[in-house]
Amino acid sequence: MATSAVADLQLVGSGPFGHGQTGDFDSALLRTSDDRELVVRVPANDQSASDQSVELIALQAMTAGIRSRLPFVVPTIVGQTSVRGTRAVVYDYLPGYGVPAEHIPAGDGVATSIGAAIAAIHSLPGSFVAEVGLPSLTAADCRTEARNVIERAAATRLLPAAVKQRWTDAAADESLWQFQPTVINGSLSAESFVVTDHNVGPIVTGIIGWGSLRVGDPARDLHWLSGAGEAADSVLAAYRLSAARHPDRLISQRSMLHAELELARWLLHGVDTKDQQVIDDAVALLDGLVDHVLGDLMHPLSPQTGPIMAVADVEEMLSRTPQTAAAAQAHGFAMETDSYDRSQFEAALAEDDAEGTRDENDGTHNTDAIETGPIDLAAVEKARAAAADANDAARDQPASGSPATGATDATGTPTTGTTGDGYTAELDFAALEAAESGEITPLTQRRPSSSAE
């Protein structure tokens, strides 16, 4: 087959080939007389044949200029030929090895290299995809596609109710589908990455499998991270750091949804091919997902309390929130948000302290500022005796309205119960007793206000 696909090809050896693929292709590794290594692949089913047709278009559309934007190598088509009603395609071989998702180590190395490689794909211009007729989906198209998968899976009556509700809620969440479509590989998995060892450590030097190239949801290329354990955080961190555009805030939730929808697609594949073994396997996986859904409330696909805001989004919102005039006039700063200038806060407190100090200095609002002195007990006794005499004199007075003895005004008119300095002669005996005990200030400091002053 290979010699029919490539003119003047001379082979000196062959052997089995596989980068951990799923068995959708029959493949072999070839060695030529000029010491080149090639790979020949023949689709094993109709879906694989369709994917291969798309891949041929995609690889041919990836010109030298497009490939130069990528930090890894993309396979090149060497030749093709018809065989047994399908097509055999010969590619150049990309040396290296694959790392299963669960074995990818967290931290710098393979994980960060994978994240940078995915970001590079998503940074490609979408125009070259549309020009060759490959799918170019909007965010709404991606949402409709997900809904169709959910509805078809639900129609089989094999979809658990809890899983169906989880997926339906996610599809109905407007905030989950607010993203900018990018160029995506569309079928990435851990086995797609070809890794080689270098002085800096293992890095991604190639990516294979381009049969689903399109413009679509970037989260689709991250769905396989659900099986990568702690390495998933490292991949995502490197992806965010390397992305040409800042990824949307809910990309992780959508990638989780896409990972779960792969189970629905597996179920539908079994139903479409009438393969009961595949159906049973899919049903078992979905039943396992029920336990995960009910026990993993910390990772909902659709936030019930509203859209989730990333830290960067919150900081940006706070920076654009103006202070209100009322708050600004109160103390020179606003507490409209949780973000404030500490220096302004301290200045306001210092101003309040200064006002308090001024009040203490001038005696305003401070009863302790009144000077006190020792209580003169003799004066108290004299005041008590004077009060007793005044009471006796009051009892000896004639009826109400009669003038008091020995008291006249400037015209000689008798006055009524007043002393010569204009203060009333009424005394509070309880106050006198308190003064004697030292509980209040002397009487001389407690003169009532009068219009005569």
Confidence at residue 118, expressed as pLDDT on a 0 to 100 scale:
98
Helices 251-273, 276-295: inter-axial angle, 10-degree rounding: 150
Confidence at residue 47, expressed as pLDDT on a 0 to 100 scale:
83
Other Cβ atoms closer than 10 A to 149: 18
Confidence at residue 353, expressed as pLDDT on a 0 to 100 scale:
61
Confidence at residue 51, expressed as pLDDT on a 0 to 100 scale:
87
Contacts of 86 (CB under 8 A, 6+ apart): 42, 43, 49
Confidence at residue 358, expressed as pLDDT on a 0 to 100 scale:
55
With 0.85 as the threshold, say if the pTM is over it.
Answer: no
Residue-wise pLDDT tens for the chain (453 aa)?
667 777 777 787 878 776 545 668 888 899 888 888 999 999 888 888 888 999 999 999 999 999 999 999 999 999 988 888 888 899 999 999 999 999 999 999 999 999 999 999 999 999 999 999 999 999 999 999 999 999 999 999 999 999 999 999 999 999 999 999 999 999 999 999 999 999 888 999 999 999 999 999 999 999 999 999 999 999 999 999 999 888 999 999 999 999 999 999 999 999 999 999 999 999 999 998 887 776 655 556 665 434 444 445 444 544 554 544 444 444 443 334 444 455 555 665 566 566 555 555 555 545 444 455 555 656 666 667 777 776 666 655 554 444 444 444 444 444 444 444 444 445 555 655 555 555 544 444 444 444 444
What tokens appear for 141 in the block?
Answer: 């198209």
